[in-house]
Structure 1
Amino acid sequence: MTTPESPDGLASRLRDATAPEHRDTENRGFITRLMGGELDLAAYVRYLAQYTHVYRALEARAAQPGDPGFLADEALRRVPSMESDLVALGAADWEAAHAPLPATQAYVDHLHAIAAQDVPRYVAHHYTRYLGDLSGGQAIAKLVARHYGATDAQLGFYRFEEIDSPVRYKRAYREQLDALDLDAEQEAVLIAEAKSAFHLNGAIFDALGAAEPLAA
């Protein structure tokens, strides 16, 4: 991973191709209200619980021969931290109290369907989730702490204890993406799946927003 990330490599093409979907997803009503301090800590618990279901599915995939190295990096795994956060947030019963919403279950089912046999599609979700956590996730932690008084013990999801420099890690991750031996068809599949990943996340935000009045 000594070759600098190429400005016209796969990572850059993937970022540019998914930029509209990325913007659309991060501007959904629920997430903008949550990050704007308009909701409450209970809304964050509901958000975190839904995504714990998603990450359980994402991280349930067994390693496959020929996987790129970044897919097996234990430093990225989030489920233990998410479960610990939920306990610290007073939601030890989160599995019973926060069953997957239909949009969440659709995402979970999709991950289970593609994970083992379709590496380009799985990489798309791996990229979308973990690079997002290493980037915007850090801002989310600060906003949840500022607006709702969340403590460090409740925000472990966003701390990557085994990654010294998120900036360097993200650069190395993108270099590994650039080094993937994908043909044009596989690259198109990966990019289309990354777009779909943003749509699946947007659907969860919409579902959380629709449920918000009932939960208030």
Structure 2
Amino acid sequence: MLDDGTRKSHSVAENTEFVSGFFKGIATKDSFAKLVKALYFVYFEMEKAFEETTDANVKALDYKELRRSKALEDDMAYYFGEDWKNVITPSAATEKYIDRIREVAKETPELLIAHQYTRYLGDLFGGQMMGGMATRSLELENGQGVKFYQFDEISSAKDFIEEWYTSLNSLEISPETKQAIVDEGNLVFRLNIDIFSELEGNAFGSFLRVAWASFKEKYLS
């Protein structure tokens, strides 16, 4: 349901913008720190909404293994120091994103499913690859600064995603609500692109660094 709806509405330009945005994010350590900071605010607000909602469908899809706030807190300490809570503030695009989460949680909580789907499944599906690219591009210490991408309680991403989809498809949701969730998922996709757009960095340069690091690891080590 959601996958078909979001894929059909995402243009090639939007998908390219999303991918190039991630490469901008790993262009420099400072840029990646800003990206992780934005994700911290987003996930804090998302997971607060999941805890507080009484919507049964959202609760059914709220697997604790997916929670990212604790991992992001570790990453915050790595990039901003132990006093990170007193030195970070959300960017304009991040504020817009978390305002939307608050609005949905208050007025149409069933649409939180779109936020679960768009962020969690994307992170789980591509997390290992993205975390690895960030580690190589920025020459991070092994496992440091990329805890967000590590799902230690999930042994098989493929099996977990299939289980999550089974739970999703078993929910009793009206056609109108399904379409509203798809529409919300597309909005969330754009909100993520807006966060990437704020980052400074050379996407192509990041891509080359990742490619070179992979080549050295495979052929020269």
TM-score, normalised on structure 2?
0.79
Correspondence 1:164 to 2:155:
yes
Kindly state the Cα deviation for residue 12 of structure 1 after the two structures are TM-superposed: 4.2
1:46-195 to 2 correspondences below 5 Å: 46-61=34-49, 62-150=52-140, 151-195=142-186
Distance 1:90 1:101 in 2: 15
TM-score, normalised on structure 1?
0.81
Structure 1 residues 83 and 65, CA, compared in 2 at 3 Å: closer, same or farther?
Answer: same
Contact 1:78 1:157 in 2 (8 A): yes
Secondary structure of the 1:56 match is helix
Structure 1 residues 68 and 203, CA, compared in 2 at 3 Å: closer, same or farther?
Answer: closer
Structure 1 residues 115 and 24, CA, compared in 2 at 3 Å: closer, same or farther?
Answer: farther
Report % sequence identity: 24
Distance 2:173 2:32 in 1: 38
Correspondence 1:200 to 2:188:
no
Aligned residues: 197
- Matched to 1:79, the amino acid is S
Question: Tell me, which stretches of 5 or more residues in structure 2 are unaligned?
Answer: 202-221
Question: Tell me, which stretches of 5 or more residues in structure 1 are unaligned?
Answer: 1-9, 211-216
Kindly state the Cα deviation for residue 162 of structure 1 after the two structures are TM-superposed: 1.3
Contact 1:25 1:198 in 2 (8 A): no
Q: CA RMSD in A?
A: 2.2
Contact 1:18 1:191 in 2 (8 A): no
Kindly state the Cα deviation for residue 119 of structure 1 after the two structures are TM-superposed: 3.5
Kindly state the Cα deviation for residue 142 of structure 1 after the two structures are TM-superposed: 0.5
- Matched to 2:88, the amino acid is H
Specify which structure has the higher proportion of helix. 2
